[in-house]
Structure 1
Amino acid sequence: MGTLKTARHRRAAAALLLPVIIGMAGCAAEDKTPAGEAVYGRPLAEQFQAATDATRDAGTAAFSSTLTYGAAGGDAVDRTRGSLDYTRGTSFAKLGLDADRHFPAELREQLHASDPKAGEVLVTSGEDVYLRHGASSWLKFTPRAVNELGESTGVIAAHAAGDAAPYSGTLADLVPRLIPREKPERQADGSRVYQLTALPEVASELLPRDLQSLQNDWGLDPVDVTVRLDADGRLSSATADLGPVLDRLHARGELRPVKRLHAAFALSAFGEPVKSKGPSGGASVEDAAEVLAPVDTLKRGRCATTGDTGLGTTAVVRPVDCAKPHDLRVFGQVKVDRRLPGNQDIENGDPFARVACERKLAAAPEDWRRGGAYAEGFSFVGSSQVGSSFGGEAGAETTVTGTYTCYLRSA
């Protein structure tokens, strides 16, 4: 009897405990934080900043970024693919410009010149950016190199690690600067889609640097942006219709054959291992500050190349011995300093620089001037300022000042 009573007491105790245990399990299930709550539980205006933090917390991701120029003859796509390591603050990216066969050839060359990317590989590590063409050595652009070589290095330096990602210059940079005003649309998979707008001067930062200057263009329509966050609140994709920016470029006479301008960005493979593909081991690395130079620092007679700098400009070049293959040979530096009567419609000092360079060329050695290696003729690069003054004894006056480098182009 004693044993049977004890068993009954045990069953009764178990029966009493069971609802309590079930109740505790139910509370634990209710306390579990839903996916994405760290982002979607925040006020709407704070969700993009929280999403940027959540994306960074993933540790790693694969990314793609495109800028599509649509013309009547087809599209040209400025494409970047690579990986991001948020933990180490590094990235790896392959770059290229793909154009349809009937895309305007002249415009294709212009895009190559303004933002050269064919066959380039970029690796970022904090503020440092490494560039490589094919099997060439790595060219390292440090903050010191950027400071010494000048603004022409911006096409490379703009991709150094930023606040949003280890690779900058994409729509990912814009997302934390945007503030949602309307609730997103929730998708079946738990992701959210936001429709919002951006200032055109901000969106223009996605373009090559020589097309970005919209700071003083007031009254432009806003740029439509779509942002998708995944179920965990991480940035999944973003797109932007840059039509308003394109309208302003058309008004300035730029990119006129382009009818559509569209930017896109996407992330995937969150948390997956990222293999280091950058400079390591015995890979040759050159410091850009040591092997490149502003062309206006080259003395008369010096030669240089431009093809492996990644800058798409003759403002910064790689000096080489003239006995080796080269793109240009400097034959003089000139200054423009003109004062003209009246308020004249002058865009820059280039016409005056051309005349000054022609005079310099006339004094150059004959073997430089007569065909051969320099059959492509001469050109010049530099900058100028145009100003106007009114009143005074001389009355209205227009001033043109600038400095230029004159060089021969090799065949």
Structure 2
Amino acid sequence: MGTLKTVRRRRTALALLLPVLIGVGGCGAEDKGDAGESVYGQPLAEQFQAATDATRDAGTAAFVSTLTYGTAGGDAVHRARGSQDYERGTSRADLGLSASRTFPKGTLEVLRGAAPKGEQALATADDDVYVRNGESAWLKYTPEAVGELGEATAEVAGHAAGDAAPYSGTLADLVPRTIPREAPERRADGSRVYRVTLLPEVAGELLPRHLRGAGDAWGTESVGLTVKLDADGRLASASADLAPLLTALHGQGMLVGVKRLRAAYALTAFGEPVKAEGPSGGGEPVEDAGEVLAPVTTLKAGRCAATGDTGLGTEEIVRPVDCADRHDLRVLGQVEVDRVFPGNRDVGSGDRYGKEECERADAAAPEDWRRGGRYAKGFRVQGRSSVTVSVAMDGQPGSGTETTVKGSYTCFLTVS
């Protein structure tokens, strides 16, 4: 922090002395050196890490990060546009999902799982992440709140300030994790363009949380990454063709209609003042997510909750509210599945048994919950289960093979 201020004062002094130096024959001009020497003077394998350092040394920058899904009916784009202050470890961005008029509606609804409807702003301050939908108060996700609320917060928590940038979850995070093997192409303006590859599981980190289910099934085909550094050695842009990931996604029935998938990142306005203050310093109302939100699995039967302003796009984490206030769901009950079957039985998952338990909870619910048509017909189920097969030793009591299904589920009504 102090080093940056010293450098800026030194540059100001040089600017003031420049006319005098020119008057005596321009002495000292040769001391300037190559602006990108701190990066391009390093061994090739170390240049991306040096570029990350040079980018941070710029102090501030504007950025745009996109993830584009291409179909026969057009494109849809997840976009984050904002500014970063590397010195303070803060950022602020506007997030959104846009799509062409002919983009498949079913696929668009799947993508909305990572982009709640309406305007959304996100800001970071070191380890804290702030989210705001529309004109609502900022929700502050501290590391403590993330720990309490669980992995469902990953969509937000993954943007907390990291080693590469104050706004994480972009290609900027992946650049220093790759090593260039071939000399870059040098452009006339002094910039360099590198072409490297990413492991598919690393490239998969760019996808929204609910699309990362492919896990170990990403395959072995590498992902191409193009990185451009400017004449000063700072990261100017990066793009990756994520098409190799589509095979695994299609294999699991996800984004079947998507034929093209591409990530891009660009930085501009290095060193310029950031345009917007973050909520931590802007005097705007802030709520602690750990205090006002709760996992839906913790709500008792009859409790109501809202899901629209959590910033998560999921029903796993909700805001408990009075049922007389505006809400999105009402809990029917929390149910458990614990069933044992003889032999090695292929039961798939316990979801069907969770649904059966929820049917009982629905039948037992007070009739007045359904009056007035406030809630949609039927109910929704949230939860997970595990299936284990055990083999007892021969000759012991109860010997034989058994299949056990255990799980926990939340049953709830949704507002019509």
Q: TM-score, normalised by structure 1?
A: 0.90
Task: Give the counterpart of 1:401 among 399, 403, 406.
Answer: 406
Counterpart of 1:108 in 2: which secondary structure? helix
Residues 214, 252 of structure 2: 8 Å contact kept: no
Tell me, which stretches of 5 or more residues in structure 1 are unaligned? 1-23
Q: Following the alignment from structure 2 to structure 1, what is the Cα–Cα distance between the partners of residues 141 and 25?
A: 57
Is the counterpart of residue 270 in structure 1 residue 270 in structure 2? yes
Q: Following the alignment from structure 2 to structure 1, what is the Cα–Cα distance between the partners of residues 219 and 146?
A: 34
Instruction: Kindly tell me the number of residue pairs found equivalent between the two proteins.
Output: 388
Q: Following the alignment from structure 2 to structure 1, what is the Cα–Cα distance between the partners of residues 282 and 59?
A: 24
The one-letter code of the counterpart of 2:405 is: V
Identity of aligned residues (%): 66
Counterpart of 1:216 in 2: which secondary structure? helix
Bigger Cα displacement from structure 2, 97-106 vs 334-343: 334-343
Residues 115, 155 of structure 1: 8 Å contact kept: no
Is the counterpart of residue 255 in structure 1 residue 232 in structure 2? no
Q: Following the alignment from structure 2 to structure 1, what is the Cα–Cα distance between the partners of residues 263 and 138?
A: 29
Residues 200, 223 of structure 2: 8 Å contact kept: yes
Residues 95, 117 of structure 1: 8 Å contact kept: no
Residues 349, 400 of structure 1: 8 Å contact kept: yes
Q: 1:277 to 1:391 in 2, by over 3 A?
A: same
Cα deviation per residue 1:44-78 (whole Å; 9 max; x = unaligned)?
00000000000000000000000000001000000
Q: CA deviation at 1:31?
A: 5.1
Q: CA deviation at 1:127?
A: 0.7
Q: CA deviation at 1:25?
A: 8.2
Residues 200, 244 of structure 2: 8 Å contact kept: yes
Q: Following the alignment from structure 2 to structure 1, what is the Cα–Cα distance between the partners of residues 190 and 248?
A: 38
Q: Following the alignment from structure 1 to structure 2, what is the Cα–Cα distance between the partners of residues 131 and 68?
A: 23
Match of 1:372 in 2: 373
Cα deviation per residue 1:264-293 (whole Å; 9 max; x = unaligned)?
000000000113333245421111111111
Q: 1:206 to 1:117 in 2, by over 3 A?
A: farther
Residues 200, 219 of structure 2: 8 Å contact kept: no
Q: Following the alignment from structure 1 to structure 2, what is the Cα–Cα distance between the partners of residues 100 and 368?
A: 40
Match of 1:41 in 2: 41
Match of 2:157 in 1: 157
Aligned positions of 1:338-377 closer than 5 A: 338-369=339-370, 372-377=373-378
Bigger Cα displacement from structure 2, 395-404 vs 162-171: 395-404
Counterpart of 1:266 in 2: which secondary structure? strand
Cα deviation per residue 1:107-148 (whole Å; 9 max; x = unaligned)?
101110244364100010011111111111111111111111
Q: TM-score, normalised by structure 2?
A: 0.89
Residues 95, 120 of structure 2: 8 Å contact kept: yes
Bigger Cα displacement from structure 2, 25-34 vs 222-231: 25-34
Q: Following the alignment from structure 1 to structure 2, what is the Cα–Cα distance between the partners of residues 137 and 45?
A: 45
Q: CA deviation at 1:337?
A: 1.1
Q: CA deviation at 1:29?
A: 5.4
Match of 1:9 in 2: none
Alpha carbon RMSD of aligned pairs, Å?
A: 1.9
Match of 1:410 in 2: 415
Match of 1:327 in 2: 328
Cα deviation per residue 1:279-319 (whole Å; 9 max; x = unaligned)?
24542111111111111111111110101111111111000
Cα deviation per residue 1:388-409 (whole Å; 9 max; x = unaligned)?
2345455333221111111111
Counterpart of 1:217 in 2: which secondary structure? helix
Counterpart of 2:300 in 1: which secondary structure? coil
